[in-house]
Amino acid sequence: MKSLFSIVLILIISCSYSFAQEAPKPFGAVPSERQLKWHETEQYGLIHFTPTTYENKEWGYGDANPAIFNPVHFDADKIVAALKDGGLKGLVLVAKHHDGFALWPTKTTSYNISQSPFRNGKGDMVKEFEQACRKAGLKFGVYCSPWDRNHPLYGTYEYVQAYREQLKELYTQYGELFMSWHDGANGGDGYYGGARTTRKIDRNTYYAWDTTWQLTRRLQPMANLFSDIGWDVRWVGNESGFAGETSWSTFTPVPAKGESKAFPGNLDQEQNPFGTRNGKSWVPAECDVPLRKGWFWHPEQKNQVKTPEQLFDLYLKSVGRGAALDLGIAPTTSGLLADEDVESLKGFGVLVKETFKNNLLSTAKLTASNDRGKSYAAANLVDENWNSYWATSDEIHEANFTIEWKSPQAIDFIRLREYIQLGQRIEKVTVESFENGKWMEVGNASSVGACRIIAFDKTLLAAKIRIRIEAPVCLTLSELGCYTKVKP
């Protein structure tokens, strides 16, 4: 009896082990916790609103009288509500642009919102936007421009200290931030406290970014740094709103053309849209693009607002390529969004929400050619949980899914998500439809990452499809779906 009991126990342990195989080992660079949270955000807004709006310019010179900044109908809740209707999950507020005007009552410069008529000189627009975001469930971030065309000390060490104090105020007074956003515009002509002159700086050394980033990490450890010289998130290399057809979230920095090779943070902008296969670091791309032609509101651009269809196309080419969509939003001089902007955002939100609401796989038979065990079965692909995933055995680097319905389905998109906690692995996806007794290729992709949306040129009618994927190591996926586009 003891021998029989031992045999049964061994069988039970063996079976249990087969259902509880070890997770795959990470492959290459992997995202940090804050980067994973950023990937989940997918799309957010970038708001430009300073005295430059009232000057009808794109870049303020730094000499505008604060008295012109008087948005009498400003309502942060209404602006944030429009962003939420557009499906945006976060907001990055330009707390200070190149003109140097601060939207909060900073102690570092008199050129701030307290010198304007807004809220009778007692306003704090950063606080109002932050509170509106918290109330609506949107993430909040800030952009504080390092270039200041108004500050009299710009170009000196004292200004760098003042700039860090500005960041410190923003980091400590407005709750947790999901992004600390910075761009590459630095130095040039300006007002500089009344001195109309040009001040040039070496952007690679002047700000001593390593020290500044330490401040960010200490005070806002979950804030993703977006910048071209020190970052968690890289610029995609254009302001058109799309990433490369092949898009890697891994990146190996190289000196930009004409820049010093001694400075390791510069990027090769020609490579930014695509990333670097097997790059040393996880640095995903942000695709920034304004809703209108410009980043600031201009009355003459009333008919240049991107349509919901245009925004949806950008969504497919940004979020749908493993990047994020950062949409430029510009309030009018009244302090609200123009009606045409609100309507476009709303239409865009409906397109995305309704298109990806119903996964056609919920009524299909899904069969995987291989899995790693019960904990990594194909059922994990349709449970709407990004933290569960399908995986193959270590020796399996090519696998496929067969999907069958009882009747033909109208399919416009296939969406895949890798389990990026273990790295970006997949380098080939082939979609096939079973037609006239044989498999016919109907779509493909050369990378997946956090999200990959394969869009068909015309609606695919199929009762049986197959998706083949390949990687240099074992495969992982956290989500798979087939969708039909709704009519706008």
Per-residue model confidence (pLDDT) at position 268: 63
Per-residue model confidence (pLDDT) at position 20: 57
Per-residue model confidence (pLDDT) at position 173: 98
Per-residue model confidence (pLDDT) at position 369: 98
So where are the chain's domains? 33-355, 360-483
The least confident of 25-34, 46-55, 409-418, 479-488 is 479-488
pLDDT in tens, 374-403: 999 999 999 999 899 999 999 999 999 999
Distances (CA, A) of 483 to 177, 242, 445, 461: 33, 21, 17, 12
Percent of the chain, pLDDT > 70? 92
Instruction: Give yes or no for a contact between 324 and 36, defined as CB atoms under 8 angstroms apart.
Output: no
Q: Across residues 100-121, what is the average pLDDT?
A: 98
- How far is the C-alpha of 101 from the C-alpha of 40, rounded, in Å? 32
Per-residue model confidence (pLDDT) at position 277: 94
- The mean pLDDT value of the chain amounts to 92
Number of other residues whose CB lies within 10 A of the CB of residue 264: 12
Which CATH architecture describes the domain 33-355?
Alpha-Beta Barrel (3.20)
Following DSSP, what letter does each residue of 305-334 receive, concatenated? PPPHHHHHHHHHHHGGGTSEEEEEE---TT
Instruction: Provide the 8-state DSSP code for 170.
Output: H
**For residue 2, is pLDDT > 70?**
no
Number of other residues whose CB lies within 10 A of the CB of residue 228: 19
| Assigned superfamily of 360-483 | Galactose-binding domain-like (2.60.120.260)
**431 closest CA partner among 415, 418, 417:** 415
Q: Across residues 271-297, what is the average pLDDT?
A: 95
373 or 185, which is more confident:
373
Per-residue model confidence (pLDDT) at position 3: 55
Per-residue model confidence (pLDDT) at position 21: 80
pLDDT in tens, 138-192: 999 999 999 999 999 999 999 999 999 999 999 999 999 999 999 878 889 999 9
